[in-house]
Structure 1
Amino acid sequence: MNHFDIENINVAAFDPMPSPEEIHAELPLSTIAAKAVMQGRDSLRNILDRKDHRLFVVVGPCSIHDPVAGLDYARRLKALADEVGDTLCLVMRVYFEKPRTTTGWKGYINDPDMDDSFHVDEGMKKARRFLLDVAEIGLPAGTEALDPISPQYLGDLITWTAIGARTTESQTHREISSGLSTPVGFKNGTNGDVSIAVNAILSSSRPHSFLGINSQGLTSIVRTRGNRFGHVVLRGGDGRPNYDTVSVKMTEQALLKAKLPPNIVIDCSHANSYKNPELQPLVMTDVVNQVRLGNKSLVGVMIESNIVAGNQPIPEDLTQLKYGCSVTDACVDWETTEQMIREAALLLSNVLPKRNL
């Protein structure tokens, strides 16, 4: 028996992948893009540290599949961000990796051609190109860290990172978060358990050592310093919302008991809107009202939004895709997005400046 009969029995192939350094050289970070990323990170850190009175809003498509429509959305969002910038800090939601409960399209990096061809090398380049374009428009970007290797390829273009409900409990993702250069939002578990997120914040705030890759693509022991900008994202769970005042108060108490800053973001989508995008504005209104009534722990919201409302299945003939419409979770349309954000900015413009006094 040779060793081939023992290892890699279920592996069909090992296809080479360009190193992060090679992809960075092909698509280098521009001065304009670097400025947008750094300013975005500074704003979020200051919001979390209560040095900036604004709320941050991570808003955008459930996932990116069409870069043309994605940049159309980004340009609209940049104009809106400039309009409400005194009250709200807008971050574009740019999600490339989609965690799956069973199977389905795994996102723009894994399968950019949307045909199960899995040209991951091309997907990574296309994702980096898109993030560069968004940053050069002047918008900060937020994404989900799902694959432990992707941050080496894209991390210099990210302002805010989410750890999803399925991965908040994962040691790998807590370790990655401890080394990320961005603030990190940990979602409560899919069952609604907030303690999972609190433990993740504690874990990621401390140094870790784990296996990863460096910029040359070499397997390395990654040693981190710890990330003190972890915070909770409440997204509901087990089909029930948790954005209400009681859930928020209980989350505050759990954070304070763990000696963590009471920083809470509300995800207007997922179980908080019963996966019905038309309910997202009601969640947003509730969050705004809680802040107006004196809540000091709510620092941000997330909205799943696109140019066109709803979602669509991926057709065999990709020319039949509806422009600006999600192929994953259903979203609110652009008009609704503008209305939600403008109303929030108007209602909070006189409240937020006094909030941290």
Structure 2
Amino acid sequence: MNATVCALPTATPESKNVLTQRLPSAAQLKQQLPLSALLCNQVSEQRQAIRAILNGEDARLLIVVGPCSIHDPQSALEYASHLAALARDISEDVLLVMRAYIEKPRTTVGWKGLAYDPHLDGSDDMAHGLTLSRELMIEMLRMGLPVATEVLQPIAAGYFDDLLGWVAIGARTTESQIHREMASGLDLPVGFKNGTDGGVSIACDAMRSAAHSHRHFGVDDRGHPAIVLTPGNPDTHLVLRGGHSGPNYDCAHVAKARAGLEKNGIPVRLMVDCSHANSGKDPLRQPDVFNNVLAQRLAGDDSVIGMMLESHLFEGCQPLSDDMRYGVSVTDGCLGWEATEHLLRNAATQLRQQRINTNVIG
């Protein structure tokens, strides 16, 4: 039997049409936009304040609030200035953290966030996106605000990890071993969201994994491939955000989540995301969710350490276009600033009154 042998082409980057473009390393960007000693100390104190809330040493409510995603530096900083002023007014009862999300998960395709496409035109100028994102976060720190973000791309985390007071791991990445390993090496509190099915078992596994030391593949500050040894992160907690089956913020679901944490030997501390499935993706329903969870807290459930809100200068959302409204989200719909301020001031008033009553009785 005669056989004809065909030579297969050798696969090369060129034949696969894969193009690469070098970015500055995390160390280079941090050197270009350094964190002053004063702000470095501030970040350390902010992280410790959040840890104190997680550990029950601080009775304040932790609120992570801000735009679903940042797309316009001017409106983001205007929002931050409002939030900073409010944070000072209600600081005795509420710790406000600025939501500065510069990466966005996409189910299929779409705008991936400021770090990816800062010009909003598909040019994907990531070098400028990283620089602009770091500049904005530093400016928010100068206003006195703790800064929070969701980490999607572990490589990108190295460009901002020195600025952050709190980090979220999203519902779609909580199951990811890579993100669990990354969280194990972060020296700051991390909130793991429940899975998209609404259950908490995946998040419990994630928190148990993140608490342990890991040796894993990664990159160093200079962008070189490296073996990374992480110490483990004890400062993690659960974030309830609802799921395919509906909301999970009411008393029954919170009790079920609390039982799940206890069963796994995980510290019982949880936050409720008032958006996403908990609000049915209707931003105007966030206050109802918020007030329900606040009532649970006021009724004595100290396992609820805080809430998340998606909020911008003006309510709603809009598609990317050449004629966009100022201060309106381009991803998920947000609550407007006036409604947000009213909601947070009212919460602070109720918490303050309870604190006064408790002190009087005591």
Quick check: 1:28 aligned with 2:34? Answer: yes
1:27-46 map, 5 Å: 27-46=33-52
Per-residue displacement from partner, 1:118-138 (whole Å, max 9, x unpaired)?
111111111111111101111
State the match for 1:18 in structure 2.
Answer: 24
Question: Which blocks of at least 5 consecutive residues in structure 1 are unaligned?
Answer: none
State the match for 1:274 in structure 2.
Answer: 280
Contact 1:266–1:300 (8 Å) recurs in 2: yes
State the match for 2:136 in structure 1.
Answer: 130
State the match for 1:93 in structure 2.
Answer: 99
Alignment partner for residue 333 of structure 2, among 310, 330, 333? Answer: 330
Contact 1:239–1:274 (8 Å) recurs in 2: no
State the match for 1:341 in structure 2.
Answer: 344
For 2:34 and 2:324, how far apart are their aligned partners in 1? 31
For 1:182 and 1:10, how far apart are their aligned partners in 2? 40
1:305-324 map, 5 Å: 305-315=311-321, 317=322, 320-324=323-327
SS at match of 1:220: strand
Question: Which blocks of at least 5 consecutive residues in structure 2 are unaligned?
Answer: 1-6
For 2:55 and 2:167, how far apart are their aligned partners in 1? 17
Contact 1:59–1:93 (8 Å) recurs in 2: yes
Change (3 A) 1:280 1:172: same
Change (3 A) 1:188 1:23: same
Change (3 A) 1:244 1:214: same
Per-residue displacement from partner, 1:307-331 (whole Å, max 9, x unpaired)?
010000000x2xx221111000000
State the match for 1:193 in structure 2.
Answer: 199
Give the deviation of 1:57 after TM superposition. Answer: 0.2
Per-residue displacement from partner, 1:287-339 (whole Å, max 9, x unpaired)?
11101111120001000000010000000x2xx22111100000000001101
Using the aligned pairs only, state the percent identity: 44
Per-residue displacement from partner, 1:264-294 (whole Å, max 9, x unpaired)?
1000000000000110000111011101111
For 2:76 and 2:249, how far apart are their aligned partners in 1? 28
For 1:226 and 1:7, how far apart are their aligned partners in 2? 37
State the match for 1:167 in structure 2.
Answer: 173
Work out the number of aligned pairs and report it.
353
For 1:180 and 1:235, how far apart are their aligned partners in 2? 22
State the match for 1:234 in structure 2.
Answer: 240
State the match for 1:114 in structure 2.
Answer: 120
SS at match of 1:237: coil
For 2:14 and 2:240, how far apart are their aligned partners in 1? 40
- More deviation in 38-47 or 53-62? 38-47
Pair member with larger Rg:
2
Quick check: 1:251 aligned with 2:257? Answer: yes
- More deviation in 31-40 or 122-131? 31-40
Alignment partner for residue 303 of structure 1, among 277, 297, 309? Answer: 309
Contact 1:32–1:135 (8 Å) recurs in 2: no
Per-residue displacement from partner, 1:140-183 (whole Å, max 9, x unpaired)?
01100100111211100010000000100011111100001110
Alignment partner for residue 110 of structure 2, among 75, 91, 104? Answer: 104
Give the deviation of 1:350 after TM superposition. Answer: 3.7
For 2:289 and 2:355, how far apart are their aligned partners in 1? 19
- Calculate the TM-score normalised by the size of structure 1: 0.95
Contact 1:63–1:328 (8 Å) recurs in 2: yes
SS at match of 2:87: helix
- The list of structure 1 runs, each at least 4 consecutive aligned residues, that deviate by more than 3 angstroms after superposition, is 1-4, 6-11, 350-355
Alignment partner for residue 153 of structure 1, among 143, 154, 159? Answer: 159
